[in-house]
Chain A
Amino acid sequence: MSDFINEEHENITGIEKQAPDRITDKERNRYRDLDNVIKEYIKKPGHLIGILHKAQEIFGYLPEEVQTYIASKTGIPVSEVNGVVTFYSLFSTEPKGKYEIKVCLGTACYVKGAQEIMDTLKENLKIDEEETTQDKLFTLKSTRCIGSCGLAPVLLANEDVYGEIAAKDVMKIVREYQKGEKIEN
Chain B
Amino acid sequence: MKIENIGDLKALKEKHYPLIKQRLGHRNGLGLTQIMVCSGSSCVSTESQAILRELERELDEHGLNENVRVMKTGCLGFCQHGPVVMVHPGEIFYCRVKPEDVKELVQTHLLEGRLVERMLYQEDLTGKRIPSINDIHFFKAQERIVLQNCGVINPEDIEEYIARDGYHTLADAILNKRPGEIIDIISKSGLRGRGGAGFPTGKKWEMTAAQDVTPKYVVCNADEGDPGAFMDRSILEGDPHSVLEAMAIAAYCIGANQGYIYVRAEYPVAVERLEIAIGQARETGLLGKGLLGTLFNFDIELRLGAGAFVCGEETALLHSIMGARGEPRPRPPYPAQEGVWGKPTLINNVETYANIPIILRRGWEWYQGYGTATTKGTKVFSLAGKIKNTGLIEVPMGTSLRTIVFDIGGGIPGGKKFKAIQTGGPSGGCIPEKFLDRPIDYESLKEIGSIMGSGGMIVISEDNCMVDLARFYLEFTQDESCGRCTPCRVGTKRLLEILKRITEGHGEMEDLDILERLSLDIRDASLCGLGQTAPNPVLSTLSYFRDEYIAHVRNKTCPAGVCKGLFSYQVDEEKCIACGLCAKACAAGAISGAPKQPYRIDPAKCVKCAACVAKCPKEAIVKGSDKEAKINENAGIFSGTGSQESRAAL
Interface residue ranges, A against B (CB under 8 Å):
44-50, 52-53, 76, 80, 83-84, 87-91, 105-108, 110-113, 115-120, 122-123, 143-154, 161, 163-164, 166-168
Contacts and interface: CB of A to CB of B under 8 A. Distances in A.
Top 3 nearest A-B pairs (CB, nearest first) are A150-B79, A113-B636, A106-B227
B649 interface: yes
Contact of B227 (A144, A153, A163): A144
Nearest to B643: A119
Interface in B623-650: 632-644, 647, 649-650
28 contacts: A45-B322, A48-B323, A84-B323, A88-B307, A107-B384, A108-B384, A110-B227, A110-B640, A111-B464, A112-B635, A112-B639, A113-B632, A113-B635, A116-B636, A116-B638, A119-B642, A120-B642, A143-B266, A144-B309, A145-B225, A145-B226, A145-B228, A148-B41, A149-B228, A150-B384, A151-B79, A161-B46, A167-B647
Given A144-B307, A148-B45, 5 more contacts: A53-B265, A87-B325, A105-B227, A110-B472, A113-B635
B308 A47 contact: no
Q: SS class of chain B's interface: helix, strand, loop or mixed? A: loop
B458 A107 contact: yes
Nearest to A123: B644
A40 B198 CA distance: 38
B341 A45 contact: yes
B79 A146 contact: no
B341 A52 contact: no
Nearest to A109: B227
Interface residues of B, number: 68
Contacts of A151: 42, 45-46, 79, 82
Interface stretch (B181-189, B280-288, B385-393, B438-446): B385-393
Nearest to A89: B307
Interface in B76-129: 79-80, 82
A3 to B, nearest CB: 35
B114 to A, nearest CB: 29
B323 A149 contact: no
A73 B386 CA distance: 51
A69 B238 CA distance: 40
Given A52-B306, A151-B46, A80 B79 contact: no
A49 B304 contact: yes
A60 to B, nearest CB: 16
Contacts of A50: 303-304, 323
Nearest to A106: B227
Most B CB contacts (10 A, CB to CB) among A49, A76, A122, A166 go to A49
A80 B649 contact: no
Nearest to B464: A111
Given A107-B458, A108-B385, A147 B649 contact: no
Contacts of B308: 87-89
Given A48-B323, A149-B79, A116 B642 contact: yes
